[in-house]
Structure 1
């Protein structure tokens, strides 16, 4: 088994849902669900990277290691990879691979992480990402006309060519990729997740309310 580091990025300054990382979802803040998920899967090397005072305080209270993220690496346009590299560079211990758990995806199928790690090691991947099938009939609009993209008008939904979307539930990647400012490598494995939790990615109040409904229904 590889030497894994769990990284949880939780910057301040969400515009659409202020303070979302510390928003209470069920019995714990949004951030706490990712911490608990890692611990329940037997992973104890957990690091939070954040510039949010409330997050830093929460991490200290729960004895989770934290790397204070410079504000320059926490802007709306800043890619998360720079914050992850900053965190890894400031750790004394070295890791073969990183597991990225985003607080905005707080609900994850119970056995998903162990399955993902097993696939990552078996396939000797550079990286692994979780995806889910999109079964919508998609199209574009041009000059007020709808133009089908992934189907022909009249085609049955069950006959659509399978398309998948990046659901953000988790990522695993070799730590060395951070030196290239990358999370996904040339040998990237798409792990298909068929579970309602894949629909939850919290950016707005409506997303949060949906997460509450799913948490109460599926617990």
Structure 2
């Protein structure tokens, strides 16, 4: 671990088209956002900043080490990019040097070990950003975009479009569970979409993201059935 402070950042938006109120909805004995806090603590992170427009959380003293940062209404819409939310957090909630660990509440099956693995990889100094990812269907390498005049524009190497599926290289999708980066690096760049990006792999059974009631019920069943390890 480096000497600078390590701070977990948890963005919580009140509105949700797929499942209204999901971030505070009870899941396995605690509100959804509470799992992210517990996982941060399990990874040894004692300082947590919650960015939210949820009225019931603003002004509350949740626990020692947890700061609730009110989010302006203009940053609480469903089309506001994460970069804008992080810019606000790193200007008002986290103002000094820090290693930032971004944990989205909608990934409650993440484990403390996933967080520490990402922090350990980040601490090698090889990457500006480390994120969690899960292996996906390599068939996407055959895909392309429609260009002007009906042109087919491959997403990757054109040879992949004509290769046997079994010969395609492994593909990973960011699952949104863990991001680790330096606060000053983000302040300079203003975006997560830059620099050298490293990844840690999370298995599919821990990579569920909650967007709808069906997603919530699936995760709840996994937790009730003991399929996910303890926070």
Task: State TM-score, norm by structure 2.
Answer: 0.80
2:72 corresponds to = 70
Q: CA RMSD in A?
A: 2.5
SS of the equivalent of 1:43 reads: coil
**Which is further off, 129-138 or 81-90?**
129-138
Q: Are 2:210 and 2:216, in contact at CA under 8 Å, matched by a contact in 1?
A: yes
Mapping of residues 1-219 of structure 1, within 5 Å: 1=2, 2-56=4-58, 60-63=61-64, 64-91=66-93, 94-135=96-137, 137-138=139-140, 155=164, 157=166, 159-176=167-184, 177-198=186-207, 200-216=208-224, 217-219=227-229
- Quote the Cα distance in structure 2 between the aligned partners of 1:46 and 1:206: 29
Offset of residue 202 of structure 1:
0.6
Give structure 2 stretches of 5+ with no counterpart.
Answer: 147-154
| Count, aligned residues | 210
Offset of residue 28 of structure 1:
0.5
Q: Are 1:126 and 1:184, in contact at CA under 8 Å, matched by a contact in 2?
A: no
1:122-155 alpha-carbon deviations (Å, 9 max, x no partner)? 144211111111136457699xxxxxx96769x5
- Quote the Cα distance in structure 1 between the aligned partners of 2:52 and 2:23: 10
SS of the equivalent of 2:61 reads: helix
Give structure 1 stretches of 5+ with no counterpart.
Answer: 143-148
